[in-house]
Structure 1
Amino acid sequence: MGEDRFWAIRGGGAASFGIVLSYQVKLVQVPPIVTAFNINRNLRQNATYLVSRWQQIAEKIDENLYMRVIAQAVDDSATGKRTIQSTFNSLFLGTCKELVTLMEKGFPELGFDAKDCSGSEMSWLESVLFFAGYRDKSVNILLDGPLGSATRYY
């Protein structure tokens, strides 16, 4: 979109705003296999640096990789104290093998490897359930109507 347009739409402050008059949707071909994954990192595991690094590379990494970061307060199992955990919640339009190669080049700091793909190759329709928090359910659950407001990310 470009930084200038982003700030124009967002507005300049409390007394200004932007209006979107049109937008464009680009459809992409979805392969038969996609890879969805979650990687959790807390403050002890350098989550602050990883989020900062993700912000620097997100727009430059492969367009077939969608990656968002969800930050939340959790109990650290190692120390028993509260900490911040960043979940890198992602979908890649391709196989795990392709994704491992991409992550090694584009975001090696995350430490993504083949073990993070365990059970994460699926059809795009199954990935809808993955992101809604219904990973172990059949896709037929989608025929039953709205899934509700699932907020489970891991």
Structure 2
Amino acid sequence: MGEDLFWAIRGGGGASFGIILSWKIKLVRVPPTVTAFTIRKKLEQGATKLVSKWQYIADKLHEDLFIRVIIQDVGNGTQKRVQASFQSLFLAGDDRLIPLMNESFPELGLEAQDCIEMNWIQSLLYFNGYQKGDR
């Protein structure tokens, strides 16, 4: 193993893996106010179509906008209920986020009451479940 090899990552099975040969980190300025939101959709609310759309647009979104999807079973044990949670962090206020979302991902139906403005440290708490306001 040479100096250029940082580490290997296991893939889908014992016979496959990826090798990282280089790693680049791009630092960005974080403004005093960021905006976060979580929108949850169940299958009967069109979650499947939204996740499909997200897969095609996620890499084309504005560079200050990050949206991830968490898919989980929210059933009561006897009944399976799948839910997709769209969690987002935007490096600006909701006054810029809502028009951007209406242009790039209107199917999600983001509204002003879904958005929570905070500082970046508070967003870390929000995404880890330590802050109220998660809708």
Q: Compute the RMSD of aligned alpha carbons.
A: 2.3
- Higher strand proportion: 2
Alpha-carbon distance change, 121 to 28 in structure 1, aligned in 2, over 3 angstroms: same
**Other-structure match for 2:34:** 34
Identity of aligned residues (%): 54
Q: Partner amino acid for 2:117?
A: E
**Other-structure match for 1:96:** 94
Q: Note the C-alpha offset of 1:113.
A: 1.3
Q: Note the C-alpha offset of 1:107.
A: 0.1
Task: Tell me the secondary structure at the aligned position of residue 70 of structure 2.
Answer: strand
Runs of 5+ in structure 2 lacking a partner?
1-8
- Higher helix proportion: 1
Q: How many residues align?
A: 125
Q: Note the C-alpha offset of 1:10.
A: 7.1
Cα shift readout 1:54-78 (whole Å, capped 9, x = no counterpart): 00100011111111101111149xx
Q: Distance in 2 between matches of 1:38 and 1:15?
A: 37
Q: Distance in 2 between matches of 1:97 and 1:126?
A: 19
Alpha-carbon distance change, 37 to 10 in structure 1, aligned in 2, over 3 angstroms: same
Task: Tell me the secondary structure at the aligned position of residue 82 of structure 1.
Answer: coil
Alpha-carbon distance change, 92 to 18 in structure 1, aligned in 2, over 3 angstroms: same
Q: TM-score, normalised by structure 1?
A: 0.73
**Other-structure match for 1:139:** none
Q: TM-score, normalised by structure 2?
A: 0.83
Q: Given the alignment, which residue of 91, 107, 117 partners 1:121?
A: 117
Q: Note the C-alpha offset of 1:82.
A: 3.4
Q: Distance in 1 between matches of 2:17 and 2:98?
A: 42
**Other-structure match for 1:108:** 106
Runs of 5+ in structure 1 lacking a partner?
1-8, 137-152
Runs of 4+ in 1 over 4 A off after TM superposition: 9-14
Task: Tell me the secondary structure at the aligned position of residue 18 of structure 1.
Answer: strand
Q: Partner amino acid for 2:103?
A: K
Alpha-carbon distance change, 12 to 67 in structure 1, aligned in 2, over 3 angstroms: closer
